[in-house]
Structure formats: structure tokens, C-alpha cells
Amino acid sequence: MESSKPKVFTTRSRDSFPSSSMEVLESSCDVSYWKDNSPIPKEDLINNIKEKDALFCLLTDRVDKEVLDSADNLKVVSTMSVGFDHLDMETLKAKNVKVGYTPGVLTDSTADLTVSLLLATSRRLLEGSQALKSGDWSAWS
């Protein structure tokens, strides 16, 4: 008997994702995974997306018209990325496929890194660290 759960294809291996998050998805969907934790070749994406209701992908997965035309049942594409440049939005809109992405998720992290780099540069942190490691730093002044 075929499952009545929505069929989802993810473009990475099962262990590439947080286990607890995938358990939630698996409880309500029939989830299949790509075999590797590396970008899926386009031909394999086309073959695996057929008859799927949803696609869970990453920024490195180009989801273009050719890929989307092979997925007649597709209703949702969700990408683990801030942007969606890798998705053919025009084709997705024409096919009435909903898109989910994560805008703003990196805003705080980007700000934290920027401030950290500014402080490290202004206080010559890397230069001091290197001097300490090589034995060139002998005094506070």
C-alpha cells in the first residue's frame, strides 16, 4: 500500500541535518535523502524529484526550469539559505509552487563577525598572537 504522506526529497544525506528536525519532518512526510553530504548532480536531482510533493535543498543546488519540469507533483520548495538565486522563481511561480527560505537568519551572526574582525584588526590581535607564539613578545610596552 502506498503512503498517503507527502513525499519529500532532500538533496543531502540524512546525517547532514539536525536529527531532531528531520524526525519532525519524517513524522508527517515520506522523506527520501540523497546518498551524500555533497551537492547532488543535476541528473540525479531530476531523477529523484519525480513524483515528489516537496524539495528540501541547499544554496548549492541549482533548481532550474529543467529540474522543475521533471517534477509534476511538486508543491513546495524549501531551501536552507538566506537567498534564493539558485531557484528559478519565474518557473516556480508559473507552476504555483510555494517557496520557503530563511531571510534574516544570518543577520546577527554577520554583525557579530564584523565587530569581531574590526576589534581584531584595530587591536592587532593576530599580529600579537603570532609574536607570542614565535617568542618575539617580551614585554607589555
DSSP letters of 56-97? EEETTS-B-HHHHHT-TT--EEEEESS--TTB-HHHHHHTT-
Q: Is the per-residue pLDDT at 1 higher than 60?
A: no
Query: For residue 30, what is the enclosing H or E element?
Result: strand 30-33
* pLDDT, average across residues 48-62: 95
Listed ranges 24-28, 82-86, 137-141; the one with the highest mean pLDDT: 24-28
The fraction of the chain above a pLDDT of 90, given in percent, is 72
What local confidence, expressed as pLDDT, does residue 82 receive? Answer: 84
- Which stretches within the chain are classed as H helix? 19-28, 42-49, 65-69, 89-94, 107-122, 125-134
What local confidence, expressed as pLDDT, does residue 86 receive? Answer: 95
What local confidence, expressed as pLDDT, does residue 13 receive? Answer: 93
Strand order in the sheet with 54-58: 30-33, 7-10, 54-58, 76-80, 98-100
Q: Is the per-residue pLDDT at 58 higher than 60?
A: yes
The fraction of the chain above a pLDDT of 70, given in percent, is 96
Q: Is the per-residue pLDDT at 33 higher than 80?
A: yes
Q: What is the pTM of this model?
A: 0.77
